[in-house]
């Protein structure tokens, strides 16, 4: 099964159903079920922004599964939509990249389900987890 490694606190925000888009500088044609891996990397500034949620932020573990249903270009219209939807959750994409000329894509995530954490090291891009997840 495919896996995507995501820094904390963003992996947990996805697992908790609070974040429905994951942002990347690359697009994907992949659609379907995959696993969310909370990487060992932590965005310390973002962690402070979300500490009031009192969530657990495990690292180095697969923590959820979900479906990738779309890959959308993050243009001004999409940034406006994200800002209206939840400016706290999407703060980084809305405010940190305003002067950035890079192109970003949002992976639309649906049917998120937390799973029993699995200890494993992550990798870049999508990678394969060899075991079946229920």
Assess whether pLDDT exceeds 80 at residue 56: yes
Model pLDDT, residue 3: 96
Task: Give the pLDDT confidence of 19-55 residue by residue, as tens digits.
Answer: 999 999 999 999 999 999 999 989 998 899 898 999 9
CA diameter of the chain: 43
Name the range with the highest mean pLDDT among 16-20, 43-47, 73-77. 16-20
Q: 15-29, 84-98, 116-130: lowest mean pLDDT where?
A: 84-98
Which band of pLDDT confidence, cut at 50, 70 and 90, is reported for residue 91? confident
Q: What is the pLDDT of residue 96?
A: 57
Dihedral pair phi/psi, residue 121, rounded to 5°? -80, 145
Q: Label residues 4-13 b or e (16+ Cβ within 10 Å = b).
A: bbbbbbbbbb
pLDDT, position 133: 77
Predicted pLDDT of residue 99: 58
pTM of the full predicted structure?
A: 0.90
Across 53-76, average pLDDT = 95
Question: Could you state, in order of their start, the residue ranges of all structural domains in the chain?
Answer: 2-122
Report whether 82 contacts 13 (CB < 8 A). Answer: no
**For residue 119, what are the contacts with CB-CB under 8 A and spacing of at least 6?**
60, 61
Q: Which two tokens stand for residue 49?
A: 């922004």
pLDDT of residue 11: 97
CB of 120 closer than 8 Å to CB of 37: yes
Span 2-122 CATH architecture: Roll (2.30)
Share of the chain above pLDDT 70, in %: 93
């Amino acid at each position: 099964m495919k896996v995507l490694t995501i820094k904390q606190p963003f992996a947990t925000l996805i697992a908790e159903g609070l974040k429905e888009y994951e942002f990347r500088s690359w697009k994907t044609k992949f659609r379907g079920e995959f696993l969310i891996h909370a990487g060992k990397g932590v965005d310390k500034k973002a962690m402070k922004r979300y500490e009031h949620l009192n969530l657990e932020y495990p690292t180095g573990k697969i923590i959820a599964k979900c479906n990738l249903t779309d890959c959308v270009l993050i243009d001004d219209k999409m940034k406006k939509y994200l800002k209206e939807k939840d400016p706290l959750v999407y703060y980084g994409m809305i405010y940190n990249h305003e002067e950035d000329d890079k192109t970003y894509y949002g992976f639309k995530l649906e049917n998120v389900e937390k799973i029993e954490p699995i200890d494993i090291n992550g990798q870049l891009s999508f990678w394969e987890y060899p075991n079946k997840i229920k």
